[in-house]
Structure formats: C-alpha cells, structure tokens
Amino acid sequence: MASNKLRSPKLLNHSPANLSIRLMWVGVGITAVFILIAGLAPLFQAWGWIQSPTELLSNPIHHPPSAEHWFGTTRQGYDVFSRTLFGSQAALKVVVLATLMSLLIGVPLGLASGYLGGTLDRLLLFLMDAIYTLPGLLLSITLAFVVGRGLVNAAIALSIAYIPQYYRIVRNHTVSIKTELYVEAAQAMGASTWHVLSRYLFANAIQSVPVLFTLNAADAILILGSLGFLGLGLPETTPEWGNDLRQALEALPTGIWWTAFFPGMTMTLMVVGLSMLGEGLNEFVNPKLRQNR
C-alpha cells in the first residue's frame, strides 16, 4: 500500500524536481516580460504613452503616484514610471554585453588550457585564480574607476569579474573529457587540435555554461545597480536603476518613498526571475540533482 502511494501521479507532481521546473517557467515568464518591456519602451515613448525618461516636467515639484504619473515623479522632475521601464533596457544591454564578453573569452581559454595543459595551463590557472579570489563587486568598482563611466565601460568592468568562472568550469570539464576513449581515438586517427576541440570537447564542456550565464546575469544586475548607486556606472542622466536609487536616497527622509521603491522592487524582481531560470536550467543540465532529491 505504501509503495502504491509513493508511485501515484498525484504525489509525483509535487516532487521537488517538478517544483523546480515550475519555478523555472516562472523565471522564464518574468525574464520574458522584462525583455518585452525593454524592447517596447521606445515605442511607448514614440506613441506618447509615456514621457521621455530624460525629460523634465514643466513643474518639477515631486508628485506621488497618480493616474497621470503611475509611479510618481522625482524631486528633479523625472517621471519614475518612464525611467523604471527604460532602466530595464539599460540593465539588459549592459548585462548581456558583459556576460557575452566573459563567455567569449573564458570558454576558449578554458578549452585551450584544459586540452593543451603544460605551461599555458599553469599560467592561466594562476591568473584566473588570482582574479577569482577578489569579490566581484570590489573588482568591478576598481575597474570602473579605471575605465570610467558608460555602457560599454560598465560591461567591461563586469565581464572581467566573470571570465574566471567560465574558464574554470570549461577547463575542468575539458580535463575530465580529454582522456575519454572517443577523444583518444580521434587523436590516433590524426584529427587536428582544432577538430578535437570543436567537435568533441566543446559540445560536452559547454553544457553547464547556460546555467552560469543566467546566474551571472542576475548577479550582474545587482553589481550594475551598485555601481550606479556609487556613481560609477552609467552617466547620471541615463535611466538606470542604480542611478535612480542614488538620487532617491536624498529624498527618502522627506517621505518621497516612491522614487526608491519602484526602481528597487523592479530590480529585485528581475534578479529573482533570472535566478529562478538559472536554478531550473540546472535541473536539466545536471541530472544527478534530480536523482539526489
């Protein structure tokens, strides 16, 4: 009787694995909404549905949320709703650029280091471990001081902090895979290094990268917001959640809560969505996680 209960579809539907899949789809939905908002925000402005995020009101006195200004306005006279929508566009641009840059650098280095070994492997391991030991936020702040403010510069500052993560995961996979029989057979048949890397090693070593990409994107949003809050991210007038939170800090003691609440909650929601997506992907990429639950 107990065995039949354990096998019943009703109980299986409530397993942790199925819960992770549901959470993943919630993450997919949240992420898709933000991507849609980022793409449609310029159209909304062109159609006159929302105000320009950099346009000051004729009457710059702050207004609480209302039918005219859904998220209220700032003390400077900016529409919070418009800046929040366009903030998702800035976040996605920087985060996608940063994670792509770190992926395109870290993955090839990991493949070459793990497969070739020797002096190259030791030098790269030393360099990547040195970078990896530094906290991502601290490293990004330091690099932001060096490269300056701007969208591309912020992406560079973020990407350097993530390169070691892609390098380490791909390098470790490559080291474990290169001794497999099918790889040694390809080498014995005279396959070139490029052919072995691209045909046999890359496809296996890349499996965990989508999960890391998604989780890094969530982390990058928080770091970008921190850089903006410190005045080191995008230019001050650019609609970006960290910039808006820094400007809202001065208004909070006077009771103007909405200038900090809406950008902060929006950033939090996007981070939660990406984190759910990453954890759900991890269930598919690592079947052992499902077996251990």
Q: What is the pLDDT of residue 8?
A: 44
pLDDT per 10-residue tile (average), the chain, 293 residues: 47 59 89 94 91 81 85 89 94 93 94 91 94 90 90 93 93 86 81 80 81 91 94 90 91 88 95 90 65 52
Burial (Cβ within 10 Å: 0-12, 13-18, ≥19) of residue 280: buried
Nearest CA-CA partner of 110 in 18, 197, 7, 4: 197
Instruction: Give the model's pLDDT for residue 286.
Output: 65
CATH of domain 81-282: 1.10.3720.10
Q: What is the pLDDT of residue 101?
A: 95
* Torsion of the alpha carbons at 162, 167, 173 and 176, rounded to the nearest 10: -140
8 Å CB contact between 59 and 216 = no
Q: Would you report the helix, strand and coil content of the chain in percent, each value rounded to 5? A: 75, 0, 25
Q: Which one, of 173, 160, 142, lies nearest residue 98 by Cα? A: 160
Q: Looking at residue 9, what is its pLDDT?
A: 47
Q: What is the pLDDT of residue 60?
A: 65
What is the model's pLDDT at position 292? 53
Q: What is the reported pLDDT for 6?
A: 47
3-state SS assignment for residue 73: strand
- Residue 290's pLDDT is 53
- Delimit the domains of the chain by residue range: 81-282
87: enclosing H helix or E strand: helix 80-116
